[in-house]
Amino acid sequence: MTWEIALVFILLVLALALFVWEKFPPDLIALALFLVIITTGLLPPDIAFSVFANAAPMTIGAMFVLSAALVKCGVVDRLSALIEQSARLPYPVVMLLMVLVVAAVSAFINNTPVVVVFLPVILTLARRMQMAPSKFLIPLSYAAVLGGTCTLIGTSTNLVVNGIITAKGQPGMSMFELGWLGVPTTILGAIYLATFGKRLLPVREMLSSILSDEERREYITEAYVQPGSPVLDKTLTEAGLTRQRGVRVIEIVRDGIALYLDPQAVRLKAGDRLILACRLKGIAHTRRLQGVDLVAELNLGIEQIAAHEGSLVEAVVTPHSALLGHTVREVNFRQRYRMVVLALHRRGKNVREQIETLPIEAGDVLLMMGTDQAIDALRNNDDFIFFDRARVSAKPQTGKTILVLGVITAVVLSSALDWLPIEIGALAGCVILCASRCLKPTEAYASIEWNLLFLIYGMLAMGLAMSHTGAAEWLAGHIVHGVQALAPGAHAGIIMLACIYLVTAILTEILSNNAVAALMAPIAIGVAVKLGMDPHPFIIAVTFAASAAFATPIGYQTNTYVYGVGGYRFGDFAKIGLSLNLLCFVMAMLIIPRIWLF
């Protein structure tokens, strides 16, 4: 082992540890890894920057744009209506229909947009069937994952692996090649979820259940600090405006400006307007404070924000929300949306304290209170999906719908028939849709998950460093030697296939699926070369296993998204997902050796 190989493995272990730690964003870790690889000399700069010539990330970006166009034109809304109309059918039938429809759509659209679009439909379906949404949301994510394994463009993972193998001189995968494994596995997965879903999926309460009955009846109102009031120069705590008294001070407006709210530091001044969320006893307490009067009871000639009972609503933050990375305080949430954030649910935990200082993430569930007018104004905002009822879909435009469907069909067929490489066809489709105004260029750029692309670039550099330094060959040699020492030569291929699959599947459950695919693909090729076998069966195993992640909420981005929405616990995914993982493994071991010969 050379020092370069040792350093590559040290960096690899460090990167994996940082991914699991989740202290830093995965794309930042990948870019830092890219920088270290160059500065340490593991890769010359010209070779390192050659990863940006890989067509896979550009193709993935183009598929995000095509997916956004398909969603915008209303095609997915029409398909989702089929599921919504099935509410009167038995649960197993509804589940089977939902999984198959979502999987069919996900085979041609990126998984995350599919889950985002179908989410309000599934929530409405759960209400109509008088069942907890937690009985449907994990299968929604699983359906999107299974559908993505059926075609080359079904998920970014497939395109990443395809880009790696073509860069290494291997023949690329055809458009529907993965369907030999993906389609039967998806059908069996749908049957499994329809049969055992109701029994294995938990009943989880929504975020609003953490509030007491008294907390549910809070009123949004305003108070005015009069000149000469006894509370002047006192903090909110000293003035008695605390939660213990049934009063929640949401905001202090002074000279038309909302102040930074610190109950222990901000001192009240004459003319301050206090926006309050009060329980009934809190309103009575506020009335008793000398020199602090409710605006509704004064005649000061100033506009009143609200003085009636607030309604509670829950909403999930969408993946492309403008709020991502910002705190409630930074975006001036109360003034911007006229809503108050009472609690936040993230990754199985309910947060009620210091919400104002938490950066907002995609999939966060916010429990908000506001007037009916404020809620209606926010309902169709693209930053949120409300739980109480689905947003009103835009009226579909038939002409643009036909054009979008035609462009996407042309992209798929041109790749399937080998008329054009998928990257050229996808980029051409994006240009046509933007030029025809089916999608604005700003909407196209906003639809791309740029953090995912930079994650892929960084991990491609890691894979290239493993190949360039000989680390991939060294590791593959030791793996092959270990298997050959334990297994007869006649069964070495199938045993190695199982090992490659299981390692990839386990890593995918705790790391980014794209990162795992970028790391395992070069190793799989090296193992096949050492065994003197065709690399294709091992490549298919890596591609499929890097997507089939069902046992943890962090194994796949759609799992993470429904994790908060459904109020799930970490173990809920393992309870139903481990069996599905086993099903996928068995199907892979049965089908891969028969379709892709060693």
pLDDT at 491: 80
318 and 302 in one domain? no
Tell me how crowded residue 228 is: count the other CB atoms within 10 A of its CB: 9
Q: What is the mean pLDDT of residues 281-303?
A: 59
Q: Considering its fold, how many domains does the chain have in total?
A: 3
Average pLDDT, whole number, for the chain?
A: 85
Kindly report, residue by residue over 393-443, the tens digit of the pLDDT: 555 567 788 899 999 999 999 999 989 999 999 999 999 999 998 889 998
Only one residue has tokens 């199938």, namely 494
| Percent of the chain predicted with pLDDT > 70 | 88
134 and 81 in one domain? yes
Q: How far is CA 475 from the centre of its chain?
A: 33
183 and 107 in one domain? yes
Only one residue has tokens 């490659």, namely 500
326 and 261 in one domain? no
Return the higher-pLDDT residue of 390 and 281: 281
pLDDT at 302: 38
pLDDT at 234: 86
pLDDT at 214: 52
Kindly report, residue by residue over 101-126, the tens digit of the pLDDT: 999 999 998 888 889 888 888 888 88
470 in any annotated domain: no
Q: Distance between CA 85 and CA 221 in Å, rounded? A: 41
282 in any annotated domain: yes
User: What letters, b where the CB count within 10 A reaches 16 and e where it falls short, cover 440-465?
Assistant: eeebbeebbbeebbbbbbbbbbbbbb
Return the higher-pLDDT residue of 242 and 513: 513
Kindly report, residue by residue over 314-325, the tens digit of the pLDDT: 888 988 888 888
pLDDT reading at 289 higher than 80: no
145 and 112 in one domain? yes
pLDDT at 303: 40
pLDDT at 556: 87
Domain that holds residue 301: 219-308
pLDDT reading at 211 higher than 70: no
538 in any annotated domain: no
pLDDT reading at 496 higher than 60: yes
Q: Distance between CA 574 and CA 385 in Å, rounded? A: 27
Lookup: tokens for 347 = 């990754």
180 and 71 in one domain? yes
Confidence of residue 306 (pLDDT cuts 50, 70, 90): very low
153-157, 289-293, 501-505 — which is least confidently predicted?
289-293
Lookup: tokens for 204 = 């989880």
Report helix angle 55-72 to 398-416, nearest 10. Answer: 150
559 in any annotated domain: no
43-47, 202-206, 518-522 — which is least confidently predicted?
202-206
Return the higher-pLDDT residue of 273 and 207: 273
Could you tell me the CATH number of the domain that includes residue 381? 3.30.70.1450
Kindly report, residue by residue over 367-402, the tens digit of the pLDDT: 887 777 788 888 878 888 887 765 555 555 677 888
439 in any annotated domain: yes
Lookup: tokens for 534 = 């065709």
pLDDT at 300: 41
The secondary structure of 508-534, three-state, reads HHHCCHHHHHHHHHHHHHHHHHHHCCC
339 and 281 in one domain? no
Lookup: tokens for 443 = 């909407």
pLDDT at 144: 95
Instruction: Tell me if 18 sits within 8 A of 512, measured CB to CB.
Output: no
| Percent of the chain predicted with pLDDT > 90 | 42
pLDDT at 139: 97
pLDDT at 216: 55
Confidence of residue 175 (pLDDT cuts 50, 70, 90): very high
Instruction: Tell me if 294 sits within 8 A of 274, measured CB to CB.
Output: no
pLDDT at 397: 64
295 and 238 in one domain? yes
317 and 294 in one domain? no
Q: Distance between CA 575 and CA 161 in Å, rounded? A: 30
Tell me how crowded residue 131 is: count the other CB atoms within 10 A of its CB: 17
pLDDT at 285: 66
Q: What is the mean pLDDT of residues 470-495?
A: 83
Give the highest mean pLDDT range of 214-223, 347-356, 477-486. 477-486
pLDDT at 393: 53
Q: Please, is 217 exposed, middle or buried when counting C-beta atoms within 10 Å of its C-beta (0-12, 13-18, 19+)?
A: middle
pLDDT at 314: 85
Confidence of residue 242 (pLDDT cuts 50, 70, 90): confident
Q: Examine the fold and report which residue of 426, 447, 468 is the final residue of a domain before the chain moves on.
A: 447
Q: Distance between CA 466 and CA 535 in Å, rounded? A: 18
Q: Examine the fold and report which residue of 407, 423, 447 is the final residue of a domain before the chain moves on.
A: 447
Confidence of residue 356 (pLDDT cuts 50, 70, 90): confident
Give the highest mean pLDDT range of 243-257, 308-322, 338-352, 401-415. 401-415
Q: Distance between CA 99 and CA 136 in Å, rounded? A: 10
287 and 320 in one domain? no
Return the higher-pLDDT residue of 279 and 145: 145
Range list of H helices, 417-512: 422-435, 441-447, 450-469, 471-486, 492-510
The Cα-based distances of 337 to 209, 278, 379, 425 in angstroms read 23, 19, 11, 41
